[in-house]
Structure 1
Amino acid sequence: MPRLRSLIKALAATAVAGALLASPVLTSPASAGTAPRTDPTPAPAPAPTGGGAATFGIQPATATARDKSRDSFTYQATPGAKKTDYVAVSNYSTSPLKLRIYATDAYNTADGGFTVLPLDTKARDVGLWVSFATTTVTLPAKSSQILPFTLQVPANARPGDHVGGIMLSLTTQASDGKGGQIAVESRVGTRLQVRVPGALKPELTVSQVRAVYHGSTNPFGGGSVTVSYLVRNTGNVRLSATQKVHVSSLIGGSRPSLPVPDVKELLPGDQEQVTATVRGVLPSFSSDIHISLVPTPVPGDVDPVLAAMDENFSVATVPWMMMLLILTLGLLGGLWVWRRRVRKRRGAKPKPGTPAAKKAAAAKTAAAKKTASAKTAAPAKAATPKKTAVSAAAPSTGSSTGSSTGSGKAENA
């Protein structure tokens, strides 16, 4: 149940943020308190008792009536200054309402939206400077009331802008669907801004830059780069800004990002998360990211006359698909060379059935026959000379011997 209550409060606070930017009389989904001059038919919302509709609103006023010349409470005040002002609260419903009125601080959400602190979070800045004679007000049906409040600027207030809101809230009971009851807080409010003069410092910075390259499946195509970063207001005055993002590569030149929304209003000390996408970036192992931020005044403020701020970063854009293609082609080329060398070593074998194969087969058969006949003829030729030599040698030797002996004998005789 505590988690559900917190979720409902967060939703109500978010709704108040949009209303604070749009109109001096603000509404939330559960309490559409809109002034008759801007919305003569306020949207209905659940009443505290569950019957009828509860609609209520708040806007700047004079001591006697609504102040149609002001959209919010905006002051120039020196440290220690004190001022009394007025706010008009209205009940547009047909039942009496018991409402709570208070002041609190404002801040930026992560995406740059404007909102105020939840009801159970204590203010630390301008929300502490405003005080009412009472924190609750009971309004009869179809009635309005003007309440005075006091703005007391501390003596040690720092120069610059201090932004918050004066809120009117209604607490109702709702079922949690399990038989239990939860408190639902519905709020409306009007902006409160105090500028303390002194050394004003308009300054925006870029930090926590992250970039990711998403390569294309096409080895010759470009990918996209997603760039995210924080724009932080490190000065002491509210600022807006226009911004551009480019990615430059050795191949393909500079590519702009898709349109990046402007920073509408960044409060001092707050930050906004920005994401930009740059398409058509050709991979070149490393690319440069250029972030250009041009601070501008918020509507109605004085131009701070600040020059554009450029930040440069790098991102790895590795051509993985191209490298994979080159590696694949290299492997295929190496395999082809290897097979070619193997064929040369073993001799190329023609395909069966082709003329070359038939000719090779015929040549092989002829060679085989020639080899076989040579093997058959070789022993016969070798045996004949041996036998002939042996038989011829014996008589020759004997004859020679005999002749020699006979000759010798004749000589002896």
Structure 2
Amino acid sequence: MPRLRSLIKALAATAVAGVLLTSPVLTTPASAGTAPRTDPTPAPAPGGAAATFGIQPATATARDKTRDSFTYQATPGAKKTDYVAVSNYSTSPLKLRIYATDAYNTADGGFTVLPLETKARDVGLWVSFAATTVTLPAKSSQILPFTLQVPANARPGDHVGGIMLSLTTQAADGKGGQIAVESRVGTRLQVRVPGALKPQLMVTHVRAIYHGSANPFGGGTVTVSYTVQNTGNVRMSATQSIHVSSLIGGSRPSLPIADVKELLPGDQEQVTATVKGVLPSFASTVRISVVPQPVPGDVDPVMAAMDENFSLTTIPWTMMLLVLMLGALGGVWVWQRQARKRRGATPKPGTPAAKKAAGKTAAAKTTAAKKTASAKTAAPKKTTVSAAAPSAGSSTGSSTGSSTGSGKAENP
């Protein structure tokens, strides 16, 4: 932390020196920025021909080929007169509007300026022209002076905008009505006010979603989104990378991510990246690394990288479904097999097992019949014995068969 503070002080050293002077100071260093993304689009001119026009920095007498934008270091209260060249490349005269406005970053990190109907609140209010419109004859150019007045209460840091040249024409819409169409082109305007410079980026709104694969043995895709915010007061750029680590498959990098080219103070950029081939292991780790960098041509603040680590649930739903299905099929097979054993189920007719079982059944029946016949043949004959009552005065015995009987009579 002490090292960062010393570097920030070194970053502001040159600008702070201007504060020690008795009057406000404004200097114009060599340009290091890029032109705003507001390239002119040919629009219908009053005579029906294509209208093409341009704007660029100038000196009091000619176009300035040494710079492509207006870049200043200025203390609060400083005042400067500068020049801009405007050109009409068309074959018809054009009436154009000239004005200054503020710049901002779009959601994807693009550089643009406020629409004409939106009022500027920052550096766009610091620039004034003698007139808001200029009429240019065909194939002609003019040099226009303007005044930059830095407010006495201007906050330290970078203030970025653009000086714009625009043409408004009328065009018919799909329903036959008339709509106003604005075509414009601009040159960049940047003012750095010295003081407590604070280079700082922050990663917020982090989110990750895992999309499983239909292949039970394949890897899924992780979609990671987050927001990079410039919470400092100087413009910054950054490189960034994303890795997803899991217990199975190791660490997987994301597809290439574009660098944060230039993030203006107070603005933010939304980032979305995809990591493929992530094997599900119930829990994975997502690592986001954002390394702050100076904008080309600026002083390097030497900030530490920002790392965000968080856990992501990566459940192998497809594999679990496959295991459940196999388990269910195995359970049904075991249940059916045990049920056949309990019922003594006979084999399917016509199969070798069925023929063998039929042969065993016939043999068993034959054996049972033979045993029954043998038992009937070996059974003994039954003998019936009967006895007749004896007559009076006699004692006689009779018998049939192989047995004999005897009787005895007694006289009284």
Please, what TM-score do these two structures have when normalized by structure 1? 0.81
Q: What is the correspondence of 1:175-324 to structure 2 with a 5 Å cutoff?
A: 175-324=172-321
* 356 and 177 in structure 1: CA distance in 2 versus 1, 3 angstrom threshold: closer
Trace 1:13-24 onto structure 2 (pairs within 5 A). 23=35
The answer to which structure has the higher helix fraction is: 1
Kindly tell me: are residues 171 and 370 of structure 1, through their superposed partners in 2, closer, same or farther at Cα, counting changes over 3 Å? same
Structure 1 position 47 matched with structure 2 position 45: yes
Matches within 5 A, 1:33-182: 45-50=43-48, 52-182=49-179
Q: How far off is 1:379 after superposition?
A: 10
Kindly provide the amino acid, as one letter, of the partner of residue 110 in structure 2.
G
Q: Name the CA distance, whole Å, in 2 between partners of 1:103 and 1:114.
A: 15
CA distance in 1, matches of 2:73, 2:109: 25
**For 2:50, what is the secondary structure of its paired residue?**
coil
Q: 1:397 to 1:263 in 2, by over 3 A?
A: farther
CA shift, 1:289, in A, is: 0.4
Q: Please tell me the root mean square deviation across aligned C-alpha atoms, in Å.
A: 3.0
Which SS does the other structure have where 2:104 is aligned?
A: strand
Quick check: 1:24–1:59 contact (8 Å CA) kept in 2?
A: no
Counterpart residue identity of residue 83, structure 1: K
Structure 1 segments unaligned to the other structure (5+ residues): 1-19, 31-44, 400-404
Q: Please give the per-residue CA displacement for 1:15-63, whole angstroms capped at 9, x wherever unaligned.
A: xxxxx97559973222xxxxxxxxxxxxxx421332x332211111122
Contact 1:80 1:154 in 2 (8 A): yes
Distance 1:203 1:395, change over 3 A: farther
Contact 1:25 1:59 in 2 (8 A): no
- How many Å separate the matches in 2 of 1:397 and 1:324? 98
Paired residue total: 369
Q: Structure 2 vs 1, CA of residues 156 and 350 (structure 1 numbering), >3 Å: closer, same or farther?
A: same
Distance in 2 of aligned mates of 1:323 and 1:25: 51
1:13 aligns with none
Letter in 1 for 2:107: A
Q: What is the aligned counterpart of 1:27 among 39, 43, 46? A: 39
After superposition, the C-alpha distances for 1:288-313 in whole angstroms (9 at most, x for unaligned) are 10011100011111001011111012
Distance 1:24 1:236, change over 3 A: closer
Q: Cα 1:62–1:381, aligned 2, differ >3 Å: closer, same or farther?
A: same
Task: State the AA in 2 paired with 1:27.
Answer: D
Cα distance in 2, alignment partners of residues 24 and 355 from structure 1: 89
Mapped partners of 1:286, 1:364: distance in 2? 62
Structure 1's 151 and 323: CA in aligned 2 closer, same or farther, altered over 3 A?
Answer: same
User: What secondary structure is seen at the aligned counterpart in 2 of 1:235?
Assistant: coil
CA deviations on 1:166-205 (whole Å, 9 max, x unpaired) are 1011111222243322221110110011111111111111
User: Is contact 2:33-2:297 (8 Å) kept?
Assistant: no
Alpha-carbon distance in structure 2 between the residues aligned to 1:177 and 1:332: 63
Name the amino acid aligned to 2:47. Answer: T
**Structure 2 residue aligned with 1:3:** none
Contact 1:21-1:114 within 8 A present in 2 as well: no
CA pair 354-188 structure 1, distance change in 2 beyond 3 A:
closer
Q: CA deviation at 1:354?
A: 4.1
Q: What fraction of aligned residue pairs are identical, expressed as a percent? A: 77
Equivalent residue, structure 2, for 1:16: none
Determine helix, strand or coil for the equivalent of 1:184.
strand
DSSP 3-state at the match of 1:335: helix
Offset at residue 208 of structure 1 (A): 1.4
Paired with 2:92 and 2:227, the residues of 1 have a C-alpha distance of 47
Q: Give yes or no for contact 2:35–2:188 (8 Å, CA) kept in 1.
A: no
Mapped to 1, the partners of 2:177 and 2:366 lie a distance apart of: 108
